A and B are shown apart, each in its own frame.
Chain A
Amino acid sequence: MTRLSTTFAAPRPSLVCFITAGDGDTAANLDALVEAGADVIELGMPFTDPMADGPAIQSANLRSLGAGTTTADVLRYATEFRARYPDVPLVLMGYANPMVRRGPEWFAEAAAAAGVDGVICVDIPPEEDDALGPALRAKGIAPIRLATPTTDAARLPQVLAGSEGFLYYVSVAGITGKQQAVQASIEEAVARLKQSTDLPIAVGFGVRTPEQAAAIAKVADGVVVGSALVEICGEYGAAAPAKLRELTAALAQAVHSARQEQVA
């Protein structure tokens, strides 16, 4: 059992929270997320050219890089997080170039040493898995893939082959933080994905409120919230932890109890 599989094996759905490393007081922000009920942490590696991200996460990337955040800093945040939270799954999410800059083996080794459980690389599709996947698997780090509304039945097996940890369903064809998908389309997609894989399925993109999160948690194994949290980091800076705690607690409550309400 890995930290990821243990977490997703719980009877209740999981709340997956994303923030960008180096945007504000990262350690304090991460503490706020975990203490308020986040089950899995996605820590964004900042990149100058976040092509798949909307304005909120773009700005967070630039704030982080503007503050001088380096790859070494991101790995240090991970290492310190692991020391504080031995059991909470930690996933690095970002773009290929910072991950492969010193070679995929270097990155996999460093991430493993930092206690990272999984890596989501936005711009390495299954077709380019060689660029990073084998190095991650060799170090026991889960390469977490994305499935999207454009991933059709013919393509899905290729996406699933080599996927580990969980499958991240991107519920809208678009960039992060924009509109939310129609609930019915999410339910249909999750049901379709569940027929093809035993991997836990986490749904994200455009999820901002406890109500949306609860609706998704009724059908999915996890709900990913990013831009709404990142906006708090941007707006409140050093005062972000208290606000993050507030939103995360509401999201966690909604996600964790989503199926109880259904049963009741």
Chain B
Amino acid sequence: MNTHLNSFRTQPDDRGHFGQFGGRYVAETLMPLVLDLEREYRKAQVDPAFQAQFDDLLEHYVGRPSPLYFAPRITEELGGAQVWFKRDELNHTGAHKINNCIGQILLAMRMGKTRIIAETGAGQHGVATATVCARFGLPCVIYMGAEDVKRQAPNVFRMKLLGAEVIPVTSGGATLKDAMNEGLRDWVANVHDTFYIIGTAAGPHPYPEMVRNFQSVIGKEARAQMLSRTGRLPDLLVACIGGGSNALGLFHPFLDDPSVKMLGVEAAGHGLDGDQHAASLLGGSPGVLHGNRTYLLQDEDGQITEGHSISAGLDYPGIGPEHAWLKESGRVDYTAVTDDEALEGFQLLCRTEGIIPALEPSHAIAAVAKVAPTMPKDSIVLMNLCGRGDKDIFTVAEKLGVEL
């Protein structure tokens, strides 16, 4: 039914723009590197050996394909649509982040780079990056906001066990965006040997496209699994959004299936009416940060404001540019749920399905809990369960007033 003329899957254009969003807003020192990265990525994309190595590692090292799981008790409790989960929390390292890290480190080695850097917020992308660096024997430096280093001590220890050097970043608010600034500063000073593994579908072109493509394994698998299990496509896809890579990974392969609706779930923190949230799309406005034009949390002068979310992985004042475009095009709907609603979603999944989710997808669970009851019983909601909750038990215990 769809032709290329009205496809939602042909973005970005050759300048890396998704409509008015995306692009390559980087310092001149980095520009030649970004162009070189794009050239090498294009070659890798059409190299069957590269794809074969990626697929092999995903199967035997990451543990793909991840299961597609029909969740009977949460479905019964919500009393509406059938609820299905794509179980990306079962991946090696416990989240979807590893899919992208495998792809990028293969590209780094292909380009002859010998040193890897990355930023991390909650530590999931840092752990995934440290993991692939250990697997391939490359030195690894992780930039992490000093505040996050304190809040996420177990992940800091994991990264160190894996051989990474974790550098606490004290500038600015000492959280994820500051870690990304420091990653860019390292890259600009070490252009000759260093590859920057960006953790989400943001940053300068080609990162948003490349990360989306590496993560699209989620949606490709889910689409085939759903067709095979039910003979039909889901009616609604749901995923949480910080930078947005897990959501794009699920959504992108379905974008040209007109019957499939999609819902991205941002972090509303203490509520969208104040400034204590991390909902760039619903509570922000377009601007330029970290190499791309996208929706940002910012003041009237374009100064970036600090987001807030119970989930350190969603606590970022921007969002991948493709989401900004998908929102403006109307193809994907976006909503936001609060810290408290996410906590309820977290407990709901623990109680009904025996799965402890990360706080990030707990936001998506909260959205599913709102929307599934309004849908007919023969309809299907598919949610990306993009991370497991081991890392979050301390935060949750504190919020629930439990002393460990």
Q: Which residues of A contact B293 (CB under 8 A)?
A: 131
**CB < 8 Å: which of A95, A100, A151 contacts B28?**
A151
**Which chain B residues in 21-43 approach chain A with CB under 8 Å?**
23-33
Q: In the bound complex, how far is the Cα of B39 from the Cα of A155, in angstroms?
A: 15
Q: Is the CB of B303 within 8 A of A58?
A: no
Q: In the bound complex, how far is the Cα of B291 from the Cα of A158, in angstroms?
A: 19
Return A117 CB to nearest CB of chain B, in Å. 21
**Which chain B residues in 169-203 approach chain A with CB under 8 Å?**
171-172, 177-178, 181, 184-185, 188-189, 191-192
Q: In the bound complex, how far is the Cα of B188 from the Cα of A123, in angstroms?
A: 12
> Is A174 at the interface (CB under 8 A from chain B)?
yes
Q: Is the CB of A48 within 8 A of B28?
A: no
Q: Is the CB of B25 within 8 A of A128?
A: yes
Q: Is the CB of B185 within 8 A of A123?
A: no
Return B209 CB to nearest CB of chain A, in Å. 15
**CB < 8 Å: which of B24, B171, B177 contacts A58?**
B171
Return B38 CB to nearest CB of chain A, in Å. 11
> Is A198 at the interface (CB under 8 A from chain B)?
no
Query: Which residue of A is nearest B15, CB measured?
Result: A127
Q: In the bound complex, how far is the Cα of B25 from the Cα of A81, in angstroms?
A: 30
Residues of A in contact, count (CB < 8 Å)? 43
**CB < 8 Å: which of A123, A124, A131, A155 contacts B32?**
A155
Q: Is the CB of B189 within 8 A of A178?
A: yes
Interface 1/0 per residue, A82-94 and B, CB below 8 Å = 0000000000000
Q: Is the CB of A127 within 8 A of B288?
A: no
Q: In the bound complex, how far is the Cα of B33 from the Cα of A54, in angstroms?
A: 20
Return B14 CB to nearest CB of chain A, in Å. 11
> Is B302 at the interface (CB under 8 A from chain A)?
yes
> Is B296 at the interface (CB under 8 A from chain A)?
yes
Q: Is the CB of B303 within 8 A of A128?
A: no
Q: Is the CB of B298 within 8 A of A101?
A: yes
Q: Which residues of B contact A147 (CB under 8 A)?
A: 28
Q: In the bound complex, how far is the Cα of B304 from the Cα of A150, in angstroms?
A: 29
Q: Is the CB of A98 within 8 A of B302?
A: yes
> Is B378 at the interface (CB under 8 A from chain A)?
no
> Is B13 at the interface (CB under 8 A from chain A)?
no
Return B294 CB to nearest CB of chain A, in Å. 11
Q: In the bound complex, how far is the Cα of B189 from the Cα of A95, in angstroms?
A: 19
Q: In the bound complex, how far is the Cα of B302 from the Cα of A99, in angstroms?
A: 8
Return A5 CB to nearest CB of chain B, in Å. 23
**CB < 8 Å: which of A54, A100, A131 contacts B302?**
A100
Query: Which residue of B is nearest A122, CB measured?
Result: B27
Interchain Cβ contacts within 8 Å, total number? 117
Q: In the bound complex, how far is the Cα of B191 from the Cα of A101, in angstroms?
A: 30
**Which chain A residues in 92-128 approach chain B with CB under 8 Å?**
95-101, 122-125, 127-128
Q: In the bound complex, how far is the Cα of B172 from the Cα of A227, in angstroms?
A: 18
> Is A79 at the interface (CB under 8 A from chain B)?
no
> Is A188 at the interface (CB under 8 A from chain B)?
no
> Is B398 at the interface (CB under 8 A from chain A)?
no
Return B252 CB to nearest CB of chain A, in Å. 25
Q: Knowing A131-B288, A173-B188 are in contact, say whether A49-B304 is a contact too (CB < 8 A).
A: yes
Return B106 CB to nearest CB of chain A, in Å. 24
Q: In the bound complex, how far is the Cα of B28 from the Cα of A145, in angstroms?
A: 9
Q: Is the CB of A146 within 8 A of B189?
A: no
Q: Is the CB of A123 within 8 A of B304?
A: no
Interface 1/0 per residue, A21-47 and B, CB below 8 Å = 000000000000000000000000001
Q: In the bound complex, how far is the Cα of B29 from the Cα of A149, in angstroms?
A: 7
Q: Is the CB of A146 within 8 A of B15?
A: no
> Is B289 at the interface (CB under 8 A from chain A)?
yes
Q: Which residues of B contact A52 (CB under 8 A)?
A: 27, 29, 184-185, 188
> Is B158 at the interface (CB under 8 A from chain A)?
no
Q: Is the CB of A123 within 8 A of B27?
A: yes
Query: Which residue of A is nearest B303, CB measured?
Result: A48
Q: Knowing A97-B288, A123-B291 are in contact, say whether A49-B177 is a contact too (CB < 8 A).
A: yes
Other A-B pairs, 8, CB within 8 Å; known A54-B185, A71-B301, A151-B32: A49-B304, A51-B181, A96-B25, A123-B288, A150-B28, A150-B29, A173-B188, A173-B189
Interface residues of A (CB under 8 A from B): 47-55, 58, 62, 65, 70-71, 95-101, 122-125, 127-128, 131, 145-152, 155, 159, 170, 173-175, 178
List 11 A-B residue pairs with CB atoms under 8 Å apart, sorted by A's residue number: A49-B172, A52-B29, A53-B185, A54-B185, A70-B301, A71-B302, A96-B288, A98-B302, A101-B300, A150-B33, A151-B28
